[in-house]
Amino acid sequence: MMEETGDAAVAVAVQGLSKAYGGKKVVDDVSFTVHEGEFFGLLGPNGAGKTTTLEMIEGLRRSDSGSVSLLGSSPWPRNTALLTRIGVQLQSSAFFERLTAREQLSTFGALYGAGVGRTDELLALVGLTDHAGVREDKLSGGQRQRLSIACALVHDPEVLFLDEPTASLDPQARRNLWDVLRGIKEQGKTIVYTTHYIEEAERLCDRIAILDGGRVIAMDTPSELVSALGRPTSMELPVSVIGPDDVRGLPGVEEVTEEDGRVRFSAADPGPLMRALTERGIAGSLQIRAASLEDVFLELTGREYRS
Ligand SMILES: Nc1ncnc2c1ncn2[C@@H]1O[C@H](COP(=O)(O)OP(=O)(O)O)[C@@H](O)[C@H]1O
Ligand SMILES: [Mg+2]
């Protein structure tokens, strides 16, 4: 355990980390801190430098410059004392062939000297108790992903690293995995994970670093990132319900435009507006679109987010 210093102890501290390939910086002066127990996300489109950053923290790639402190130690040159304290999600190819989910876990457990009860505990944690006897190659994509996360947790590590665990899963399997990740966080683990799904990062992470072109372009809690934009809430009503001129007469309404049969507008203080709409009996037709992380990306980069 690390020493507490007022705030939660630091699990990962990255300072000025850079890496170039063929003269091109793919990770460019990246700095951030992850506290113990935090769910921290590296969010960015493909090629942003997420995997390179993660692997330098894990001690799998060497940085050109900058420093990483992982649980108080440097992960490079390879630090075997750290390996028992961190979990790195294995790719599916790292499964043993022809073993069931339970056998995979108990085999990994035996390698790490985990207790016998650990396998059942992990099967329950990742929601695979009912599939314990199913061979790994017969599991669905989402189930395999959950099994590989369980394998990374066999030795009860303090910090768990996951690289795009939800990529290529269907929406239902992604949601199941979110529940699993939340359960792991509830056990007090620190989670550092990457994703290119904006909405997912917004829902799961305590804090997010948005990476683009190897640089951290924003970092904060999801709600702070969005509220720092200072955008008024945007709303719309069908023209068939109320015309643009009438909308302009409503309290607190700004920036009224009409497009595709809908009146779009914003209101800095929606309270009086909602009362006026309710009095007219049209509040039920109102659609509200709050600013999102996608708007943050657009604002900071001037271009749309393409995962
Ligand atoms: N081993 C490598 N050799 C050359 N270029 C690499 C290597 N690894 C990554 N890159 C390049 O670095 C950039 C960032 O890659 P990566 O960290 O994998 O991004 P992400 O995980 O965000 O998709 C990409 O342009 C990629 O092509
Ligand atoms: Mg990647």
Residues in contact with ligand 1 by the CB-under-6-Å rule are: 21, 26, 44, 46-52
Judge if pTM exceeds 0.85.
Answer: yes
The domain segmentation of the chain, as residue ranges, is 3-221, 232-290
Neighbours of 234 (CB within 10 A): 17
In the beta sheet, which residues pair with residue 259?
A: 262
Closest C-alpha to 8, from 31, 29, 32, 33: 33
CATH code linked to domain 232-290: 3.30.70
41, 46, 52, 54 alpha-carbon torsion, rounded to 10°: 20
Which CATH fold would you assign to the domain 3-221? Rossmann fold (3.40.50)
Ligand 1 atom with the smallest distance to the CA of 55 is 17
Query: Which residues lie near ion ligand 2 (Cβ < 5 Å)?
Result: 50-51
Output the pLDDT for position 216.
Answer: 98
Q: What is the pLDDT of residue 215?
A: 98
Predicted local confidence at residue 3, as pLDDT: 47
CA distance 301 to 278: 39
H helices of the chain, where?
50-58, 80-83, 101-112, 118-125, 141-152, 171-186, 198-204, 222-227, 244-248, 270-279, 293-301
Ligand in nearest proximity to the CA of 26? 1
Quote the pLDDT of residue 2: 46
Q: So what's the pLDDT on residue 9? A: 94
**Tens digits of per-residue pLDDT, 280-292?**
999 999 998 888 8
C-alpha gyration radius of the chain:
23
Residue numbers in the chain where pLDDT is lower than 50: 1-5
Q: What pLDDT score does 94 carry?
A: 77
Instruction: Out of 26, 30, 42, 164, give the residue to mutate to test ligand 1, the one with the largest number of ligand atoms within 8 Å of its CB.
Output: 26
Q: Using a CB cutoff of 8 Å and minimum separation of 24, what contacts does 122-128 make?
A: 122/150, 122/153, 122/154, 123/150, 125/150, 125/153, 125/180, 125/183, 125/184, 125/187, 126/150, 126/180, 127/176, 127/179, 127/180, 128/101
Tell how far the Cα of 211 is from the centroid of ligand 1, in angstroms: 13
For strands 262-267 and 233-238, give the pairing: antiparallel
Q: Whose C-alpha lies nearest to ligand 1, atom 6?
A: 21
Here the tokens at position 80 are: 């075997």
- Each residue's pLDDT tens digit, 42-64: 999 999 999 999 999 999 999 99
Q: In a mutational test of the pocket of ligand 1, which residue from 21, 25, 164 has the highest number of ligand atoms less than 8 Å from its CB?
A: 21
pLDDT reported for residue 4: 46
